[in-house]
């Protein structure tokens, strides 16, 4: 294992300088790592635009953040349900209308381990629809503003990318055959990660190297993820694993690093570098070759543009 570029303790938010004048757009900030990332960015003086599906939860989140950090923090919320393409398109339009710059778009929100095959209103398996297609469309629509801002796109993946069938099931993307919660979640996270490296390739090909795209994951962090969408059994299994996990705050470090750290190598994969990549100092670590399979990534990208009807023009 190579040495951590940030030293023994790995990357921590102490490295973030004053973020006055910077704007971060984050999906899913009502709990978990997204909430912690928003809190830390605001505490450093950044402006944060939160994209959440539940307006009441978003309002409560703002109240909680203001209670801790003061009334004058620059936080706002736009309603967006990643599981509905119409909602994603509406939210993206509102961002483009009201937000003058995006230094980083952090694609953090997700659902996980959905016990039974469920389809989104657009007809996709729910984890693929929310985690992957929702963010694919959001990124494409916000890309012009991110490009104008010389900003970044940060994708929060999961070590789950390596726990399913390790490729994209093109002949049965919705898992009409053999649905399992784990395989479907894993595919959505693999798709998210593959699209980061495919985006890098496409940006390089057209010389748009001012925009950076990063893939990271939070390890195993104590958040609401399994409570929100997992089965009772899955919740029980995850509760047994609690002693092996880390705080939601630590889980936010990789995405914070990818959103703010200067001169970070895009080709790496970032997350905790300790036991099983669940916990430990944050830095770059190994990614399995199937996540960087260019032929699969290209096919997925083309399919995604056709499925969503959204073009990146890259």
Binding segment for ligand NAP (CB under 6 A), chosen from 16-24, 104-112, 161-169, 171-179, is: 104-112
Q: How far is the CB of 269 from ligand NAP (least distance, A)?
A: 13
Q: Report if residue 30 touches ligand NAP, rule: CB under 6 A.
A: yes
Q: Does the footprint of ligand NAP cover residue 139 (CB under 6 A)? A: no
If one counts every other C-beta atom within 10 angstroms of the C-beta of residue 314, the result is 17
Nearest to 127 by CA among 183, 55, 58: 183
In angstroms, what is the minimal distance from the CB of 64 to ligand NAP? 13
Side-chain half-sphere exposure of 83, counting CA atoms within 13 A:
13
128 binds ligand NAP (CB under 6 A): no
Instruction: Supply φ then ψ for residue 205, to 5 degrees.
Output: -60, -35
For residue 192, the minimal CB distance to ligand NAP (Å) is 8
Give the span between the Cα atoms of 43 and 54, in whole angstroms: 24
Closest CB to ligand NAP: residue number: 32
Q: Which is nearer to ligand NAP, 132 or 301 (CB)?
A: 132
Rounded distance between C-alpha atoms, residue 222 and residue 145, angstroms:
33
For CA atoms 140, 144, 145, 146, give the dihedral sign. Answer: positive
81 is a site residue for ligand NAP (CB under 6 A):
yes
- Phi, psi at 51, each rounded to 5°: -110, 110
Regarding 114 and contact with ligand NAP (CB under 6 A), the answer is: no
**130 counts as binding ligand NAP under rule CB under 6 A:** yes
Our finding on whether 228 is near ligand NAP (CB under 6 A) is yes
- Check if the beta carbon of residue 143 is closer than 8 Å to that of residue 211: yes
Buried b (16+ CB within 10 A) or exposed e, 205-243: eeeeeebbbbbbbbbbbbbebbeebbeeebeeebeeeee
Q: Considering the rule CB under 6 A, would residue 223 count as an interface residue with ligand NAP?
A: yes
CB of 41 to ligand NAP, least distance (A): 15
Q: Counting contacts by CB under 6 A, is residue 95 touching ligand NAP?
A: no
Least distance CB 10 / ligand NAP (angstroms) = 17
- Contact flag: residue 209 with ligand NAP (CB under 6 A): no
Size of the site for ligand NAP (CB under 6 A): 33
CB 5: neighbour CB atoms within 10 A? 14
The residue among 194 and 220 lying less far from ligand NAP, judged by its C-beta, is: 220
- Minimum gap (Å) between residue 115 Cβ and ligand NAP: 16
Among 42, 77, 78, 111, binds ligand NAP (CB under 6 A): 111
Q: By C-beta, is 54 or 209 nearer to ligand NAP?
A: 54
**What is the spatial distance between Cα 248 and Cα 187, in angstroms, rounded to a whole number?**
23
Among 4, 5, 44, 57, contact with ligand NAP (rule: CB under 6 A): 57
* Phi/psi at 310 (5° precision): -105, 130
Q: Is residue 195 close enough to count as binding ligand NAP by CB under 6 A?
A: no
Q: Is 280 in the site for ligand NAP (CB under 6 A)?
A: no
Contact between 247 and ligand NAP (CB under 6 A)? no
- Residue 273 engages ligand NAP in binding (rule: CB under 6 A): no
For 134, other C-beta atoms within 10 Å of its C-beta total 30
Cα pseudo-dihedral 107, 310, 199, 13, rounded to 10: -20
Tokens of 285: 């670590």
Using N-to-C axis directions, what is the helix angle for 181-205 and 294-308, rounded to 10°? Answer: 100
> How crowded is residue 89: how many other Cβ atoms within 10 Å of its Cβ?
17
Could you list the beta-strand ranges (E) of 71-211.
74-79, 104-107, 152-156
What residues make contact with ligand NAP under the rule CB under 6 A? 27-34, 52-54, 57, 80-83, 108-112, 130, 156, 158, 217-218, 220-221, 223-225, 228, 251
């Amino acid at each position: 294992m190579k040495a951590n570029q940030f030293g023994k303790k790995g990357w921590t938010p102490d490295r973030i300088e004053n973020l006055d004048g910077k704007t971060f757009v984050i999906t899913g900030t009502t709990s978990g790592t997204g909430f912690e990332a928003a809190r830390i960015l605001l505490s450093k003086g950044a402006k944060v635009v939160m994209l959440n599906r539940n307006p009441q939860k978003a309002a409560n989140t703002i109240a909680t953040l203001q209670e801790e950090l003061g009334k004058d923090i620059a936080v706002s919320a736009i309603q967006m349900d990643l599981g509905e393409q119409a909602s994603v398109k509406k939210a993206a339009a509102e961002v483009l209308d009201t937000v003058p710059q995006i230094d980083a778009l952090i694609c953090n929100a997700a659902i996980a381990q959905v016990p039974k095959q469920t389809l989104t209103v657009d007809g996709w398996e729910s984890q693929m629809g929310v985690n992957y297609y929702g963010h694919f469309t959001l990124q494409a629509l916000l890309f012009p503003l991110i490009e104008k801002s010389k900003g970044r796109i940060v994708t929060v993946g999961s070590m789950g990318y390596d726990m399913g069938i390790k490729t994209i099931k093109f002949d049965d993307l919705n898992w009409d055959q053999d649905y399992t919660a784990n395989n479907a979640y894993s595919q959505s996270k693999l798709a998210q990660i593959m699209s980061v490296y495919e985006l890098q390739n496409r940006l390089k090909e057209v010389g748009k190297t001012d925009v950076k795209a990063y893939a990271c994951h939070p390890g195993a962090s104590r958040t609401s993820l399994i409570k929100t969408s997992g089965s009772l059994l899955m919740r029980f299994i995850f509760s047994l694993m609690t002693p092996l996990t880390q705080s939601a705050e630590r889980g936010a470090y990789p995405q914070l690093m990818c959103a703010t750290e200067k001169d970070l190598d895009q080709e790496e994969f970032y997350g905790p570098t300790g036991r099983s990549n669940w916990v430990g100092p944050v830095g770059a670590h190994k990614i399995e070759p199937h996540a960087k399979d260019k032929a699969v990534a290209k096919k997925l990208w083309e399919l995604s543009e056709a499925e969503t009807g959204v073009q990146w023009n890259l």
